[in-house]
Amino acid sequence: MNKNACGFDILNNPKLNKGTAFTETERDLYKLRGLLPAGVSSQESQIKRVLANLAAKTSDIERYIFLFSLQGRNERLYYRVIMEHIQQLMPVIYTPTVGLACQQFGGIFRETRGFYITPKDRGKMRDILSNWPEKDIRMIVITDGQRILGLGDLGANGMGIPIGKLALYVAGAGIPPEQCLPVMLDVGTNNEALLNDPLYLGVKQPRLTGAEYFELVDEFVSTVQETFPKALIQFEDFLTPNAYALLNTYRDQVLCFNDDIQGTAAMVLSGIYASTRISGLNFSDLRIMFLGAGSAAAGMADLIHPALCEAGMDSDEAYARLWFVDHLGLVVNSRDELPEHIVNYARDEPAMAFLDAVKTFKPHILIGATGVGGTFSEDVLQVMASNNQHPAIFALSNPSSHAECTSEQAYNWTDGKAIFASGSPSPAVEYNGRTLQPGQGNNAYIFPGLGLGALACEASRVTEEMFLVAAKTLASMVDQQSLDQGTIYPPLKNIRAISLRIACAVAEKAYQQNLAQRERPADLEQTIADLMFDPVY
């Protein structure tokens, strides 16, 4: 506690405030006498009060607003509630509720949180970043709001995504909250509804594009290297061409990664590894089909490809195991102007529709990253079941309404054979007397631990090998009880332990690759564990 702070300065500072948990001694020491009710609460009783308030809310968006407000009042209480009830509250503070929160951002705005950059700030980046009160920033999540989940261009309303991601970094991996910086690159929006909305809080102009856009991003990235030299930059929810352009520009220059491309890929690869423990298939024998050819799906393939090569096949054979279908059908070489990120996956096959491609290729794994609900039809899943004893179905699009199919559909349409994972939480399904529990393919399994590991050893870069080892580590933590229920991810309630294991593996890989700038401690796990934020008071 800052001994120079007292009275309302403490109560109005979310980092210092404990509310009714200030003891009698603290109330005298910090001049809080008379400013609080007489009763002294434990943090445990405060948690019960928070949970009771949450239970009284009638919708998840109301719960989101309540928790957002709690974070602005009492940061430690907020994070302890989230940490101890992560399975229950992650869908509230992140997907799927965060999508609705972003859509309603202008209407539910209560208090500023995060950092906003606009085209007017060009040439002033160093000056405006100095306005941020914390000077030891280690974790930055930045978006331009152009491709928020499956909801499209939400402009400055997309600030909810960096805020939510960083809350998961803190709760899931113990990154100290004062070291986190959510950033909105507000370069306008092409969403006419927002441009005409009097409550919209962003820049009301069409999106900045081309050289001016990339120069603004470059000024930000360069200034971060000077102002916050130990910070990791996570790019989030950028449109596919920009996402790849930024990742390819900076991945070998600064400590950064793109979670949609690389974090999603590691999460999916982990699920594929775990699925083979149910299906009995060898990883090196798998055929994998993607519905959707954007940055998320291509990023998955770009990590699965080296994993297949590591399993013993050459590069061409590995590419041949990965087929893509988009809104035009199978991605084939005869198409004009294929996007660069998908060229390696185009097939020398005749053009064909999705169902015909499934019949032809006979994939073991079907992965949806379309942003379009219901695209895994009954016909498609029945073909998957006819070709596989245990077809693995990943319906990953968020929010839930955009999922390619539901858990009930996946199990019913495959006669209970499916190994199913979805992007948002899905309910268990009773099928022929058996309880089948879907896994949630959530990036929160990967990015908190990866970020913690990179920061703990002060890595200079984030590499493909770090994502590979993160995927293997996560898959190894799925126990037999989970597999027996059809679940290919460990319980989210164990996220802190999961993140610590991944962080150790990532840091170890950084040391092996000579990318760690901090001397390796004798006890790496304990050193990393000691870095993790503890919100108990």
Rounded distance between C-alpha atoms, residue 496 and residue 48, angstroms: 22
Three-class DSSP category at 368:
strand
Rounded distance between C-alpha atoms, residue 241 and residue 264, angstroms: 17
Two tokens, residue 174: 């113990």
Rounded distance between C-alpha atoms, residue 254 and residue 226, angstroms: 12
Of 224, 227, 216, the C-alpha closest to 122 is 216
Rounded distance between C-alpha atoms, residue 68 and residue 417, angstroms: 41
- Contacting residues for 425 by C-beta, under 8 A, at least 6 apart: 90, 91, 440
Two tokens, residue 526: 């304990």
* φ, ψ dihedrals at 181, nearest 5°: -135, 110
Partners of 258 in the beta sheet? Answer: 235
State the catalytic residue, choosing from 94, 213, 244, 319: 94
* φ, ψ dihedrals at 230, nearest 5°: -100, 10
Peptide bond between residue 206 and the one before it cis (omega within 30 degrees of 0): no
Answer positive or negative: Cα dihedral of 277, 278, 284, 290.
negative
Of 212, 263, 221, 267, the C-alpha closest to 246 is 221
Rounded distance between C-alpha atoms, residue 273 and residue 308, angstroms: 11
Of 254, 218, 238, 230, the C-alpha closest to 125 is 218
State the catalytic residue, choosing from 165, 273, 345, 411: 165
Rounded distance between C-alpha atoms, residue 494 and residue 491, angstroms: 6
Rounded distance between C-alpha atoms, residue 13 and residue 6, angstroms: 10
Mark whether 94 is an active-site residue. yes
CA 491 to chain centroid: 16
Beta strands in 111-163 (DSSP E): 115-117, 139-143
- In Å, how far are 194, 321, 354, 389, 392 from 280, measured between CA atoms? 50, 18, 26, 10, 12
Residue 54 contacts residue 66 (beta carbons within 8 Å): yes
Of 244, 248, 90, 113, the C-alpha closest to 183 is 113
Residue 498 contacts residue 490 (beta carbons within 8 Å): yes
Of 525, 518, 467, 464, the C-alpha closest to 230 is 518
Residue 173 contacts residue 499 (beta carbons within 8 Å): yes
Residue 456 contacts residue 180 (beta carbons within 8 Å): no
Active site residues: 94, 165
